[in-house]
Amino acid sequence: MSEVLVVDNSKWFTSLVAEKIESGLNFPVKTAQTYNQAIDLIDSETSDFFVSLLGLYHEDAEMGAIVDFAISRSIPVIVYTGKFNDALRETILSRKVIDYVIKEDKHSLDYIVSLIRRIKRNETIKVLVVDDSTTARNHISGLLDVHRFRVFKAEDGASAERILADHTDIKLIITDYNMPNMDGFKLIRNVRKQYTKENLAIIGVSGDSNSKLSARFIKNGANDFLTKPFLAEEFYCRITQNIEMIERMHEIREMTNKDELTGLSSRKYFLENGDRFMKDMRERNQPLFVSIIGIDDMRMINDEFGFDAGDQALLNTARIIRQNFPNSVLVSRIGGDEFGVVSLLKENENLKERLETIRGKIEAAELIVSGKKVAYTASIGVCARTADTFGHMVVRAEKMMLAAKDDGRNKVVMDG
């Protein structure tokens, strides 16, 4: 399991930081007060440090020796220091550390926690650096490596497009303007045909003295701009701000597209994406089935056993559907007591049998809520005939579900 190393000559301080990190991030922390203790921890066969928080001064070593040792073992370093001046800043940053934090107050500890969280997340984030200068390209890539991003490099816009086609989950592009084959503006315009600013951030960089370049980058679709040469601190702040903007937008979409109780996709997502799924399946010449699963007498469950029982029935139904449709195209909660399933079938697979299994498992389940047994059933309607639109298939499946309820409930009714 990934660990955090904290080394400082104050035992009280290391304990304070360790508690803050463990309570805020749930990462195990190992601590040391001396250089030699830290070396023993780093060289231990069981160590697995993805980041370290290191003081500069220890009685048994020269200033910054533990920083150099950790970096030599490929452990990213955050320096924590009570002393600070411009000369020390240059010394710290020359060692290619993640950042430095000055011992001031509790806000320093909060910043450390957020920085460690950021470094861990960065391990999964892909960044594309585009610059025709090998020196500039390697410099920016090196800065990103320190913060543990997954970095790809391209020498011009055309090469960048090929890389992006192979890695569609790239979240950030850092691009120069003046390049052969395809300049930065053309690259940005092409990228924006497929990716919005909320899905992929772009930062333009240039050493050109033309003050209008920043405006042109933004107008062509970039999120941000940096003038070369730039300070490492400014670079990292801009990178973090843009990545976190992408993450926040993703979280907002997740909240909109997911049902809070069950974790399934929402009705909005179900209806908005159904036609796209239908089109994909038609192009593959695969039949698509839409099923609506409605819990019977949900109002009775809530009235007799309480809303907690209703929630448990919903959660149990969602679990059973997921287990029995592991390869479904889409499973959603589309109403208070209804679920929608868009499914494909393997060759010789029987949809009716699959749905009967789900119906039977729901009927057989006995939920215990506040010491009481709660039994319930579900009615299932299926549209097995492809319609003109996904919405028509949903309406047809809902009619079949209502027919199942009218026929006594706890049944599967298909239209085909």
The C-alpha atoms of residue 156 and residue 300 are separated, in whole angstroms, by 65
pLDDT of residue 189: 96
268 strand-pairing partners: none
pLDDT at 134 over 90: yes
With bands split at pLDDT 50, 70 and 90, how would you rate the model's confidence at 52? very high
pLDDT at 90 over 90: no
> For the chain, how many helices (H) and strands (E)?
15, 17
Q: DSSP state, 407?
A: T
Strands 338-343 and 330-333: antiparallel
For the residues of 325-358, what is the DSSP string, one character each? Answer: -TT-SEEEE-SSSEEEEEE---TT--HHHHHHHH
Query: Please, which residues have CB within 8 angstroms of residue 365's CB and are 6 or more apart in sequence?
Result: 316, 320, 375, 376
Contact between 114 and 122 (Cβ < 8 Å): no
pLDDT at 81 over 80: yes
Identify the CA nearest to 7 among candidates 36, 29, 38.
38
For the residues of 245-256, what is the DSSP string, one character each? Answer: HHHHHHHHHHHH
Query: Could you give the domains of the chain?
Result: 3-120 (3.40.50.2300), 124-257 (3.40.50.2300), 267-414 (3.30.70.270)
With bands split at pLDDT 50, 70 and 90, how would you rate the model's confidence at 251? confident
The C-alpha atoms of residue 144 and residue 203 are separated, in whole angstroms, by 13
Long-range Cβ contact pairs of 356-360 (< 8 A, separation 24 or more): 356/412, 357/324, 358/293, 358/320, 358/321, 358/324, 358/325, 359/410, 359/411, 359/412
Look at residue 385 and give its three-state secondary structure: coil
Identify the CA nearest to 68 among candidates 82, 81, 83, 52.
52
pLDDT tens digits along 169-207: 999 999 999 899 899 999 999 999 999 999 999 999 988
Mean pLDDT of the chain: 91
Tokens of residue 404, six digits: 């199942």
291 strand-pairing partners: 341, 382
pLDDT at 65 over 90: yes
pLDDT of residue 312: 94
pLDDT tens digits along 326-368: 766 789 999 999 999 998 776 567 888 989 999 999 999 989 9
Averaged pLDDT, 45-74: 92
Region at 364 (left for phi over 0; alpha for psi -120 to 50; beta for the rest): alpha
Query: Please, which residues have CB within 8 angstroms of residue 374's CB and are 6 or more apart in sequence?
Result: 301, 305, 309, 312, 313, 366, 367, 368
Contact between 311 and 261 (Cβ < 8 Å): yes
Q: What are phi and psi of 32, to 5 degrees?
A: -150, 155
Look at residue 1 and give its three-state secondary structure: coil
pLDDT of residue 1: 65
The C-alpha atoms of residue 328 and residue 268 are separated, in whole angstroms, by 18
